[in-house]
Structure formats: C-alpha cells, structure tokens
Amino acid sequence: MSDEERSYTSILLPGARVALFTTDDETQASFQGLESDWRFARVKLETVPGDVETAIQRFSGTAAPDLIIIQTESIDASFTDRLEALAEHLTEHTSAIIIGPVNDVNLYRRLVSMGVSDYLVKPVPAPVLAEDIAQTLLEQIGASDSRLIALLGSKGGVGVSVLSEALAWSISGELAQKTFLLDAAGGWSTLSVGMDFEPSTTLPEAVRAAVDHNEDSLTRMIYQAGEKLFVLSSGGDVMLDDSADAQGYETLLGYLMGLYPVVIVDLSGAPSALKRTVLTRAHQTLLVTAPTLPSVRATRTLLHEIKDLRGGNIEDVEVVTNMVGYSPKFEVPKAQIGEALERPPTVSIPFDTSLFVSTESEALKLYDQKGGDEIVKNLLRILEKTLSVSANDLGGDGDKKGGIGQLLSKLKTKS
C-alpha cells in the first residue's frame, strides 16, 4: 500500500467549496494543481487575487465557502484584528487555513484558539497543501459521501460471497471507485480463497485496532487485491470462537468509511448482532435468495425484520434471486415470488455451476467470464443511485468541528 493509500485523507472528498486568497504565484500554482488530484473531483476550487481585506469585501455580501485559505505577509496584531473582522461575515461551519511568512508558535496557538484549522509557513509544497485541505474538509464535513453496501443471504449457499466479491471487483475495477470488501464471517470466511491471499489477522483483532485507533496495525491487516480494491485479510479466526462485538464492529466500519468511498460487507456468515449493526447503517442492502420455498419464506421474514430494524423503511433493500433454473421442478415461479414478497425480485440470476464454482475456487473475476459480465452489470444497475454512477459508464474514475465563524460567538461571549 502506497503512502497515499495509507493516509486516511486519501478518499474521494465530499462536495465542498474552497477559496484561496493570495498574490503568491507559487501558492496559486500548488492550489490549482489540486484540480488533477482524484480526491478533489467533487471540490470546487476558486483562486482570488488578494488578502484578508479582499476576503472581507467578498463575503460581506456573499455566502462563504466551506473553507477559506488566506495568505498573508503580515502576522502582527493588525492581521488578527482583520481576521476577527472577517469572522463576522462567516458562518460557524466555515473553516480557515492561514499561510504566513514565518514559523511562529505563539501565533499558531492564537489562530487555533480563534477557530483557524491550521497555520502553514510558505512555501507550501503541493502535497502538504492537499493533505491539509483534505483533512480540514473531512473534519468539518465528514466522509458523508462514503457508501456502505450490505449483502445478506436468506439462507446458506445462495451465493452471497461470490456476488460480494464480484461487486467489489467491478466497482473498484470497471467503475474505478476505491472500494473495501469486508467479510463479517470471522473464521467461517472464504474471502481468502476468492481473493487469493493467506489470512493474516482475525476480525476481533481488527476491531480492537480500530477501537484503539491503532492505524499502523490496521494498515498491516489490509490486503490490496487490486489497484483500487482493498480487503481485510481476516479468516484466521478460530471457527468455533465468538466473533467481534457489534459496538466494536461499528467502530471498525466508521474507520473504513472514513478511508474508502465504497465499503461492501458480506454478511452471509456473520453473527446476528453484526448483521443488525450493518443492516441498520447500510445505504443499500442486497438480499440474496434462491427460487425455492424455504428461501422465499426466509426472505419474506427477513424483509419484515429489516423493515422493523430500519423504522419501517426498506426502500434501499433489493431482492436478488440467484440460482434460477438449478432445479426447475421444485422452483417457485417468479410471479409467485413477487406475490409472496409483495415486490418482484430486482434481479434474477440464472444458475451456472461452472461459472460460479470456477470464479470462487480459482479467484477469478466474474465480470471477466462469459455470462458473468451481464450478471455484474445487472447488479451494478441496482447500485447506480447509491454510487452516483451509471453501470453503463464503465471505465470512469470513482464528528464535526466548528470553523472560524465560531470566533464571532466567542467574541460576543467575552464582551
């Protein structure tokens, strides 16, 4: 994993507006270079020639952006006085970064106490500026654009794991979205076979590292399966031991969603507590079933339970019928499945023993196999809205803090 991939700020940043006020050509060039940084695809960058006085004039009648960056050649009391004047025109959610001429610890402390996110000394290298802006936006706005996708089976053996892996490969590969795949089955996980790696950790160990904020340990537990696909290298758990607790698992999810824009969780072998945790939080759930009476009945029960779990809302839960045609004599017709579930299956996948067994056993990509490409494309269509991408558009790239505006309330409190 590269240094960029290790950084928790290395995610597709949420939509935001950032304005830079400077007269320095070097700083301006570093800032404008961010337009080619994939993380900033949703960030609107604006360069304004000027200083703090220019910013005061600009925002006296215009809504301030999420982050303002002001470069100054003066760091005396007159500058901080003007910064206080600027704060009167900002909301409490506007963050600020100041770029100054010298390293001054006392000034840094005063600026931070005023609500400034950071003070940088010029010249500011482009990578440093990028990381500082990314960290500030994530602290201010949060990784609100990260998406959690859950896959759950109505019963064992309906193909949840192979479909989870297929989606992870296609979202990271063909849609070029940085993706994390997590198997919640602990020692029962088969992810190491499907992704061709040797398990080097356990699910409880990963949870403990997340709870302890041990980023170095978590980094060592992550296996990079593809250019933009990462998985937790778990599966070394004792199969008959208890898995991770739900509260700790949610902490792990929070960490991963701060780092990866798309997190996919295979719930096929997870304990009930972990299933509830993920299903409650998921932006999209694919409930995988088979066209047999036991599977359909279990699916109907699960839909009702997920509805109760999510406060009556199951708009983001889709039913996928897998293994259609493997035993026609005993299968429930599609129309009757829709009637029993009070909704038709969103996708029906034909049974193909050779395709699915070879894909899972030989660590192949489903969308690279004959017949598998259409299956994956149909699954991606379910996720178009959640991922804000089109399944047909293949090959494209994929706790809040108060800002300086809080200074105004601080000043009023002091007066």
Q: Are residues 172 and 92 in the same domain?
A: no
Q: How far apart are CA 76 and CA 72, in angstroms?
A: 10
C-beta separation of 180 from 256 below 8 A: yes
**CA 231 and chain centroid, separation:** 14
Least-confidence region, from 65-79, 117-131, 333-347, 388-402: 388-402
Position 43 pLDDT exceeds 90: no
**Average pLDDT estimate for 250-264:** 85
Task: Looking at mean pLDDT, say which of 134-148, 165-179, 215-229, 331-345 comes out highest.
Answer: 331-345
User: 3-state class of 93 per DSSP?
Assistant: coil
User: pLDDT grade, residue 390 (50/70/90)?
Assistant: low
* Angle between helix 334-341 and helix 293-309 axes, rounded to 10 deg: 30
CATH number of the CATH domain containing 105? 3.40.50.2300
Look at residue 415 and tell me if it is in a domain. Answer: no
Mean pLDDT of 217-221: 89
Q: Which domain holds residue 64?
A: 3-142+403-410
Residues 389 and 396: their CA atoms lie apart, in Å, by 9
- Identify whether residues 131 and 191 lie together within a single domain: no
Whether residues 222 and 112 fall in one domain: no
pLDDT exceeds 60 at position 392: no
| pLDDT value of residue 273 | 86
User: 219 exposed, middle or buried (CB, 10 Å; 0-12, 13-18, 19+)?
Assistant: middle
Let me know if residue 382 belongs to a domain: no
Q: How confident is the model at residue 132 (pLDDT cuts 50, 70, 90)?
A: very high
Read off the pLDDT band of 229 (50, 70, 90): very high
pLDDT at 2: 42
Question: Is the preceding peptide bond at 123 cis, omega within 30 degrees of 0?
Answer: yes
DSSP 235-262: --S-TTS----HHHHHHHHHHHHHH-SE
Q: Is 330 exposed, middle or buried (0-12, 13-18, 19+ CB in 10 A)?
A: exposed
Q: Is the confidence at residue 216, as pLDDT, over 70? A: yes
Q: How far is CA 337 from CA 274, 313, 327, 344, in A?
A: 28, 21, 16, 7
pLDDT score of 230: 93
Q: Which sign does the torsion angle of CA 238, 242, 247, 253 carry?
A: positive
Whether 398 is covered by a domain: the verdict is no
Pair (181, 195) in one structural domain:
yes
Pair (56, 160) in one structural domain:
no
Are residues 47 and 96 in contact, defined by beta-carbon separation less than 8 angstroms? no
Residue bearing the bigger pLDDT, 236 or 220: 220
The mean of the pLDDT values for the chain is: 83
Domain contains 353: yes
Least confident of 50-59, 103-112, 138-147, 224-233: 138-147
d(CA 278, CA 167): 17
Specify the pLDDT at position 293.
Answer: 95
Is 176 inside a domain boundary?
A: yes
Q: Residue 162 and residue 355: Cα distance in Å, rounded?
A: 11
Lowest-pLDDT choice from 25-29, 185-189, 206-210: 185-189
Angle (nearest 5°) at CA 97 between 95 and 102: 160
More confident residue, 3 or 315: 315
Q: Is the pLDDT of residue 151 over 80?
A: yes
Residue 360 confidence (pLDDT): 72
Are residues 91 and 187 located together in one domain of the fold?
A: no
Q: Are residues 345 and 322 in the same domain?
A: yes
Residue 399: predicted pLDDT: 43
Checking if the pLDDT of 411 tops 50, the result is: no
Does 119 reside within a domain? yes
Is pLDDT above 90 for 339?
yes
Lowest model confidence (mean pLDDT) among 36-50, 66-80, 305-319, 376-390: 376-390
Is the same domain home to 188 and 49? no
The total domain count for the chain is 2
Is the whole model's pTM more than 0.75, yes or no? no
pLDDT score at 3? 43
Predicted local distance difference test score (pLDDT) of residue 307: 92
Tell me the C-alpha distance between 31 and 51, whole Å: 15
If we measure between CA atoms, which residue out of 71, 65, 358, 31 comes closest to residue 193?
Answer: 358
Whether residue 397 lies inside any domain: the answer is no
| Domain shared by 131 and 103, yes or no | yes
Task: Provide the token pair at 294.
Answer: 């036991």
- CA distance linking residue 250 with residue 256, whole number of Å: 10
Ramachandran bin of 332, using left for φ above 0, alpha for ψ from -120 to 50, beta for the remaining angles: beta
Instruction: Measure the CA–CA gap between 287 and 299, rounded to whole angstroms.
Output: 8
CATH number of the domain residue 330 falls in:
3.40.50.300
Band the pLDDT of 402: cuts 50, 70, 90.
low
Distance (Å, rounded) from C-alpha 173 to C-alpha 98?
39
Q: Looking at the structure, tell me whether residues 256 and 318 fall in a common domain.
A: yes
Please check whether residues 105 and 228 belong to one and the same domain.
Answer: no
Do 305 and 217 lie in one domain? The reply is yes
User: What residues does 320 pair with on adjacent strands?
Assistant: 288, 347
Least confident of 63-77, 189-203, 231-245, 399-413: 399-413
The SS3 call for residue 47 is strand
Residue 383 lies in a domain: no
